Structure 1
Amino acid sequence: MNQVILVGRLTRDPELRYIAGSGTPVAQFAIAVDREFSGKDGKKETDFIDIQVWNKVAESCANYLTKGSLVAIQGSLRIETYQNQAGENRRAARVNASRVQFLDNRNKSESTNTFVPGAGLDANEFEAINDPDIPF
C-alpha cells in the first residue's frame, strides 16, 4: 500500500500549468512538515516535500493557496529517476496528491478551517479540532 498523509505549510505559491495536447491542469508546490522529534541542538527539524496535484484540485490550489497556507495532503509517494547534466543517475521523491484540504485561507484573520467547494474534497476530512484539553 502506498498512502501518504501530510500536514504542512506551502513554501511557495503553487505553479499551475496545462499539459500540451490534453489541456489537463497540473499544479506543483512544496510544503514544510515539522518532524515529531528535535535534533541534538533541541530545535525541531523540518522536511520539505514536493507535491503535485492534477485536474480541478490543481486549479483550486492555484486559485486559493499561497506561500504559508496550511494544508493537509493525501496521496501516494512517487520516486522519479533522472540523469543530471553530468550524466549521473539521480532520484527524487514527490507526493502525487489525490486530496488537498485547505486548513486556512488567504485572509489569515478569518476562520482557520476552510473548505473550498468544487475542489474534489470531502468537507469532513481533516477537520480541525478545537479542544482546550488537548495539549498540542
Structure 2
Amino acid sequence: MINNVVLVGRLTKDVELRYTPQNQATATFSLAVSRSFKNANGERETDFINCVIWRQQAENMANFTHKGSLIGITGRIQTRNYENQQGQRIYVTEVVADSFQLLESRSQGQQQQQQGQYQGQQGNYNQNQNNYQNQGQQNTVPQQQNQGNYQRPTSR
C-alpha cells in the first residue's frame, strides 16, 4: 500500500514543541495549503491540515520556523483515536511528517510578515505554483549554440 503525502503551505501559528515522558521531541503544527482550483465565486479555498513531526526534525522545526513560514513537508496520513475527559471517542486524522524544508529565506519571510501577506493564503504560494506549472509547458533549458570558439572535449 502507498501512503505518501507531500504538502507545501504556510504555518498558521508557531510550532508547539513538547517532549514525551521518554524525552522524545514532538512538534504539532497546522499548515495552510491553498487548493489548486477556484470555487464558484472565483476564489481559491484553503485547507488547514494538522501535522506532527518527531525527534530532531521537531526541534529543528521549532527553532527555524515561525507563524507564516513557507515550508514543504513529506510524510504520511495517520488516524488515531482517544477518549476525552467526557468519555467521548475522538477521532483524529493528521499528517505525520518525516521531514520538512524551508522554502523561503528568513528575510523574505520577515518581509512578508511585516507586510501582512499571510492572510488569504493566495499570495506567493499560488504564484510560485503557477510559475512551476508554466515551466512544465515550455522548454526552459536554453540550448547551447556553437559560437565558433566552442570545441567539443575530446575523450582520452
Name the residue aligned to 2:119: none
Name the residue aligned to 2:64: 64
How high is the sequence identity, in percent, across the aligned residues? 40
SS at match of 1:42: coil
Aligned residue runs from structure 1 range 69-108, under 5 A: 69-84=69-84, 87-108=87-108
Alpha-carbon contact 1:65-1:105 (below 8 Å) kept: no
SS at match of 2:68: coil
Work out the number of aligned pairs and report it. Answer: 116
Q: Does residue 1:10 correspond to 2:15, yes or no?
A: no
Q: TM-score w.r.t. structure 2 length?
A: 0.65
Q: Taking structure 1 as reference, are residues 72 and 85 closer, same or farther at Cα in structure 2, changes over 3 Å only?
A: same
Q: Taking structure 1 as reference, are residues 85 and 17 closer, same or farther at Cα in structure 2, changes over 3 Å only?
A: closer
SS at match of 1:108: helix
What's the C-alpha RMSD, in Å, of the aligned pairs?
2.5
Q: Taking structure 1 as reference, are residues 35 and 25 closer, same or farther at Cα in structure 2, changes over 3 Å only?
A: same
Deviation digits for residues 72-109 of structure 1 (CA, Å, limit 9, x no counterpart): 01001011223455544332211100010111243327
Deviation digits for residues 24-57 of structure 1 (CA, Å, limit 9, x no counterpart): 1111111000111111111101100111111111
Q: Which amino acid aligns with 2:75?
A: G
Q: Taking structure 1 as reference, are residues 76 and 25 closer, same or farther at Cα in structure 2, changes over 3 Å only?
A: same
How far apart, in 2, do the equivalents of 1:29 and 1:109 lie?
A: 17
Unaligned ranges ≥5, structure 2: 111-127, 137-156
SS at match of 1:107: helix
Higher strand proportion (structure 1 or 2)? 1
SS at match of 2:107: coil
How far apart, in 2, do the equivalents of 1:19 and 1:2 lie?
A: 25
Which has the larger Rg?
A: 2
Alpha-carbon contact 1:66-1:106 (below 8 Å) kept: no
How far apart, in 2, do the equivalents of 1:18 and 1:86 lie?
A: 25
How far apart, in 2, do the equivalents of 1:14 and 1:31 lie?
A: 10
Alpha-carbon contact 2:20-2:26 (below 8 Å) kept: yes
Unaligned ranges ≥5, structure 1: 111-127
